[in-house]
Amino acid sequence: MNPWIAIGALGVVSIGIPLGMMAVSALLRPSVPEQGKSAIYESGEIPTGTARLQFNIQYYMVALLFVIFDIETVLIFPWTVIYRSALEQGASLTEVLLPMLVFIGILVVGLVWAWRNGAVEWVKSPLAESRKTERQT
């Protein structure tokens, strides 16, 4: 039988279970709205400002690299599947291994370049650095 029918069935069940738990909880739980109860939690202080603000994604360059490497893994998987059987059927190493080594090599050169340019880092915001009050050691 088609395995994807079973997987789809599991999808239905695994959405149904959280929904069922929510429904049971909705029947059981009390609802006592009070003033101040629904305030967002900021360590007990009165919340200041909103969380919908412009922020510094400090791993932006890393996220771009991730896209490249993610596509790379997609391209590596088919090769890993055929690699061993191709060798067993008499293909030579230069035919099946060398192209992949070149492919990975190009990406490694790219990674080294990004690394040396400081892209693979948690970017520290200059503003936050200048406002830092803790003692520099």
Positions 67 through 126 that interact with other proteins (CB under 8 A):
69-70, 73, 76-77, 80-85, 87-89, 93, 96-97, 100-101, 104, 108, 111, 115, 120-122, 124
User: Shortest Cβ distance from residue 2 to other proteins (Å)?
Assistant: 7
CB-nearer residue toward other proteins: 17 or 113: 17
CB 61 within 8 A of CB 119: yes
With binding defined as CB under 8 A, does residue 54 bind other proteins?
A: no
Q: Given the complex with other proteins, which of 89 and 130 has the nearer CB atom? A: 89
Binders in 6-45 for other proteins, by CB under 8 A:
6-15, 17-19, 21-22, 24-26, 28-32, 37-43
How far is it, in rounded angstroms, from Cα 79 to Cα 68?
A: 17
Distance CA 53, CA 129 (A): 20
CA dihedral in degrees (108, 110, 111, 114; nearest 10)?
160
Decide: helix, strand or coil at residue 94.
Answer: helix
CB 67 within 8 A of CB 114: no
In the complex, the smallest distance separating the C-beta of residue 9 from other proteins, rounded to whole angstroms, is 3
Total binding residues toward other proteins, as defined by CB under 8 A: 73
Tokens of 10: 């599991």
Nearer to other proteins, 40 or 133 (CB): 40
